[in-house]
Amino acid sequence: MNKFDFDNPFRPGAGHRPPHLAGRKPEMQEFQRLLTQETILENMILTGLRGVGKTVLLDALKPQAIKERWLWIGTDLSESSSVSEETMAIRLMTDLSVVTSSLVVERSEDLIGFTGGTRHEHTLNFNTLTTIFNATPGLIADKLKSVLEIVWHALDAHGARGLIFAYDEAQNLADQAQKEQYPLSMMLDVFQSLQRKDMRFMLVLTGLPTLFPKLVEARTYAERMFHVVFLDRLGGDACRDAILKPIEAADCPLKLKKKMVQTIIDLSGGYPYFIQFVCKEVYDSFIQQLDSGKEVFIPIDEIVHKLDNDFFAGRWNRATDRQRELLSLIARLPNCDTEFSVLEITGMSRESAKPFSPSQVSQMLASLGNSGLVYKNRHGRYSFAVPLLGQFIARQSEPLA
């Protein structure tokens, strides 16, 4: 083993916690403020493009909440969770039972659906929760409220400050109007109702930027119900911390020169996932270069090519030829990395051989939104839903060397 044998400290992956969580102190302080609420007036939404670290930050908030005597439940939300109001209720009770199964309610009259004048102990496991749910008359929302009210009194008696329902990929939630099922609206109604009764159940949702408009569309009061935290790319100092601190902590014998650090920042665009991806590739390359006795350098072209194949190509390949033409036009806009309008796209398309009409652009943007390539914000403008997508698209039209 030579002196440069070491483990690569970087770990790119979907939701994998990086060796050092950089640049998110303000968001964690904001969450700390929400934990002090006596009455839940604000729930939290963590939103942003893919690769900004929403899942990682959500995981980092959990120990912070537990330290303040909050219980924490949650999982990833799939489309199946919102097939119907009942499936949504079952999802919530399933997750709830993980933390309530150790709680005991002693009197039988405390539990709807349990009869008898003698005292019995009932643990609030999944079977008990569903028994209460099924025995409560009324709509699904009424049944779920009954379950949560009983749980709250048990939690309060056991000294818990509150309970956080933390759900990732919450943009998958949707009402099903064609089936007369409104699971998203039902969930919002239930939590708002209980919070008005001073029951400290807090929602912490993460998702793509389509999440908040979807919540407001389901229930207009959701605009006042949530505090939205938009996660953006990291600033220069946070980028340098994300790159250098893992190297220091792992005591890597091979250090990065200042110019190399800046190259990594430029390649990654400041997005946390891309920083991890590029840094891992850099150090994997360094190890191989050292083994062959070469002086180390960052193989920029090779890393960009691998990032294109691993991250962008799958999304790009799902687009039709005509959609790719539209995306290529958007990538030529000087503001493609921020937000753009139908008018700007149609103006650019006049220079092309097959221009797009405004109605065509609107329809195609809606389709691209469904495939996760763009999203429409609340001001009627659009943005790429994938970071650095414009640069990737521009590379597709570059002539081969």
Lowest mean pLDDT among 24-33, 62-71, 287-296, 331-340: 287-296
> Are 80 and 187 in the same domain?
yes
Domain housing 267: 236-314
Query: Stretch 123-151: mean pLDDT, rounded?
Result: 95
Instruction: Name the most confidently modeled range: 287-296, 329-338, 374-383.
Output: 329-338
Shared-domain flag, residues 68 and 99: yes
Q: Are residues 120 and 192 in the same domain?
A: yes
Q: What is the CATH number of the domain that holds 196?
A: 3.40.50
Mean pLDDT score across all residues of the chain: 89
Does residue 372 lie within any of the structural domains? yes
Q: What is the mean pLDDT of residues 33-48?
A: 96
- Is 112 a domain residue? yes
In a domain, 2, yes or no: no
Report the domain count for the chain. 3
The verdict on 202 and 295 lying in the same domain is no
pTM of the shown model: 0.87
**Would you say residue 323 has pLDDT above 60?**
yes
Write down which residue in 261, 291, 314 finishes a domain: 314
Per-residue model confidence as pLDDT tens digits over 99-118:
999 888 765 455 565 555 55
Among 199, 215, 230, residue at a domain's last position? 230
Same domain, 190 and 41: yes
Q: Check whether 119 has a pLDDT greater than 60.
A: no
276 plus 368 within the same structural domain: no
Query: For residue 366, what is the domain's CATH number?
Result: 1.10.10.10
Least confident residue range of 63-67, 239-243, 354-358: 354-358
Is the same domain home to 298 and 338? no
Q: What is the pLDDT of residues 359-399, one digit of tens each?
A: 999 999 999 988 888 998 767 789 998 999 999 999 987 64
Residues 189 and 141 sit within 8 Å (Cβ to Cβ): yes
229 has pLDDT over 80? yes
Among the candidates 314, 337, 359, a domain finishes at 314
At 401 the pLDDT is: 42
At residue 144, the pLDDT reads 97
Does 210 lie in the same domain as 272? no
Domain shared by 182 and 293, yes or no: no
